[in-house]
Amino acid sequence: MIAMITGTVEYVDENSAVIDTGGVGYRAYMSPANLSRISAGQQVKIHTFLRVAEGIMDLYGFLTREELSMFKLIISVSGAGPKAGLAVLSVMTPAQLSLSVVTDDYKSITKAQGVGPKLAQKIVL
C-alpha cells in the first residue's frame, strides 16, 4: 500500500491534487479544505489511503495522520464511502468530529454535503 507521498504539487483541481515524486505523478483525491491549503510548486507530505474496488484504484490524501485515521473510521461505517468521508472532513476537523461523536451531536455531521441524518447517526454510533 502507498502510505505516504512526499513531493511537489504539480497542480490542484476541484477534487484532487497531483503530486510529483521524482518524475512520477500521483493523483490524490482530497477534501476541499485540504486542497485550499496547497498550491502548485509547494513541497508537501500527503498521508494516503489506497482504495481498490472493482478493478479501480483510487488514492485519497490527507495533510495529517489524524485526518487519515478519521477517514478510515468514517468509511468503516456501513453506507459511508470515501466521498462521504472527504465531505465530513471538509466541514469538520478530526477533533470536532470526535467531539460530535462523544456528545451524540449527529446534526453537526449533517453539514457535510451528501451526509443525511441516518448516515450521520450511524457515524456517531
Q: Which residues pair with 20 in a beta bridge?
A: 8, 25
Whether 8 contacts 20, CB under 8 Å: yes
Supply the angle between the helices 82-91 and 94-102 in degrees, to the nearest 10: 100
> Concatenated DSSP letters for 81-112?
-HHHHHHHHHHS-HHHHHHHHHTT-HHHHTTS
The three-point CA angle 103-108-110 to 5° equals 130
What's the whole-model pTM score? 0.89
- Could you tell me what percentage of the chain is helix, strand and coil, using 3-state DSSP and rounding each to the nearest 5? 35, 30, 35
Q: Look at residue 54 in the predicted model and tell me its pLDDT.
A: 87
Category of 123 on φ-ψ map: left (φ > 0), alpha (ψ -120 to 50) or beta = alpha
Say which CATH superfamily domain 65-124 falls into: 5' to 3' exonuclease, C-terminal subdomain (1.10.150.20)
Higher-confidence position of 124 and 6:
6
Read off the pLDDT of residues 16-37 as tens digits, 9 standing for 90 and up: 999 999 999 999 999 999 999 9
With cut-offs at 50, 70 and 90, classify the pLDDT of residue 39: very high
Q: Look at residue 55 in the predicted model and tell me its pLDDT.
A: 87
Read off the pLDDT of residues 65-108 as tens digits, 9 standing for 90 and up: 999 999 999 999 988 999 999 999 999 999 999 999 899 888 99
User: What are the start and end residues of each CATH 1.10.150.20 domain in the chain?
Assistant: 65-124
Q: Does domain 4-62 have CATH number 2.40.50.140?
A: yes
Q: What is the mean pLDDT of residues 51-67?
A: 93
User: What are the start and end residues of each CATH 2.40.50.140 domain in the chain?
Assistant: 4-62
C-alpha 21/C-alpha 24 separation (Å) is 5
Q: What is the mean pLDDT of residues 102-124?
A: 89
Number of H helices, E strands in the chain: 6, 5
Q: Look at residue 46 in the predicted model and tell me its pLDDT.
A: 96
Q: Look at residue 84 in the predicted model and tell me its pLDDT.
A: 92
Closest CA to 122 of 107, 98, 106: 106
